[in-house]
Structure 1
Amino acid sequence: MQFMNEIPKRSKNRSCLPNCAINFTNCRITIDCTDVFCAVPRQSMKNQRLTYSSYKHRNSFKGLVGVAPNGVLTYASMLYPGSISDKNIVKHCGILTQLESGDLILADKGFLISDIVPNGVSVNIPPFLSTPRFTAEQIQQTKSIARARIHVERAIRRIKGFKILSFIPEPLFDCSSIIFRTACALTNLQYPLIREVSQFYIDVDAPVV
């Protein structure tokens, strides 16, 4: 079952670009990964090791999500074992095949993926501190990126609000990716993350004409 796996073109994003993304008119998607805790696999030591997240100190699955500049959640990968790196998820989930020259990806510092994206695709992450303090330009750049990419974190909070994703028991392992993607899709039925783009949504309370 495949859904939540096609991202809109830049032209589509530009048609409803919010003010927070005005400096990133060529942004195709903002990405981040999230962990979903799971039961310890009982039958396989290998799977126990693969699902153990050294960062979370628990067994988990990990998925990549992406939002358009207007805050709509447009992409959700399948779930991977919790030990996998963010970079490897990006490399193997298939999202790179949809990107085109001129596209921009916004991401957090952990996404060092510039060497694996297609030619002509840019990756914009907050600058690393290589001097005693950030320059004024770096501070402004960090703030600008943060304003644009905070909405993927807000989308993840909504996804995690579904109780079924608080813990995946072993009997649900085989359908965990479908559960994850369904939760991601359902978040788009909630009120828009960015108020100024609500004008592009259908008012469900309005009378049907």
Structure 2
Amino acid sequence: MKPLVVWPSRDTLRKTMPMQFRKHFGTKCVAIIDCFEVFIDRTTNLKARAETWSSYKHHNTVKFLIGITPQGTMSYISKAWGGRVRDKFITENDGFLNNILPGDLVLADRGFVIQATVGSMMAEVKISAFT
């Protein structure tokens, strides 16, 4: 499915930005990111078992980073990582940040402590406020 996942141009994103996003974020939002985990069988290899153990899911998993445009299309999918890996690590090491340009805005949840990394690229991260 990798060939079907395309990062759109900034011009395309701005021209087709939904009104609710324009109202709250202007036209600079390029992606909403999150990680999801998929259960896998428990392996006999102890190192692999430790790398895939998810303390969040209490199961062995693989984790993926996904990016969605404000329009609702999938714009990024990472390779599979062991469930133990933090969201921040995947974001910084899988190539997602290669798509970010100065002035861009990325929306994320509180598991993504990437403000400094994205800020160094002259872009911005907004973390949702959960109470």
TM-score (norm 2): 0.89
- Distance in 2, matches of 1:47 and 1:72, equals 33
The counterpart of 1:28, out of the listed 14, 27, 30, is 30
Give the 5 Å matches for 1:17-96.
Answer: 17-22=17-22, 23-24=24-25, 25-42=27-44, 44-96=45-97
Task: Give me the CA root mean square deviation.
Answer: 1.8
CA 1:61–1:28: 2 relative to 1, 3 Å: same
Aligned length: 128
CA 1:11–1:96: 2 relative to 1, 3 Å: same
Give the superposition deviation at 1:81.
Answer: 0.2
Give the superposition deviation at 1:5.
Answer: 5.7
Percent identity (aligned): 37
Specify the alignment match of 1:112 in structure 2: 113
**Structure 2, unaligned runs of 5 or more:** none
Specify the alignment match of 2:103 in structure 1: 102
Which residue type is aligned with residue 30 of structure 1?
I
CA 1:96–1:6: 2 relative to 1, 3 Å: farther
Give the superposition deviation at 1:110.
Answer: 1.3
Please say which structure displays the higher CA radius of gyration.
1
Give the superposition deviation at 1:4.
Answer: 5.3
Which residue type is aligned with residue 14 of structure 2?
R
- Distance in 2, matches of 1:73 and 1:39, equals 27
Q: Deviations over 1:66-103 (max 9, x none)?
A: 11111111111111000000000001110101211001
Q: Deviations over 1:128-174 (max 9, x none)?
A: 76xxxxxxxxxxxxxxxxxxxxxxxxxxxxxxxxxxxxxxxxxxxxx
Specify the alignment match of 1:203 in structure 2: none
Q: What stretches of structure 1 move > 4 A for 4+ residues in a row?
A: none
Task: State whether residues 68 and 75 of structure 2, in contact with CA within 8 Å, keep that contact through their aligned partners in structure 1.
Answer: yes
Task: State whether residues 5 and 77 of structure 1, in contact with CA within 8 Å, keep that contact through their aligned partners in structure 2.
Answer: no
Matched, 1:8 2:8: yes
Secondary structure at 2:63 match in 1: strand
Q: Which has the higher strand share?
A: 2
Secondary structure at 1:50 match in 2: helix
TM-score (norm 1): 0.57
Give the superposition deviation at 1:2.
Answer: 5.0
CA 1:27–1:37: 2 relative to 1, 3 Å: same
**Structure 1, unaligned runs of 5 or more:** 130-209
Q: Which has the higher helix share?
A: 1
Which residue type is aligned with residue 64 of structure 1?
L
Secondary structure at 1:109 match in 2: coil
- Distance in 1, matches of 2:117 and 2:5, equals 19
Give the superposition deviation at 1:15.
Answer: 1.4
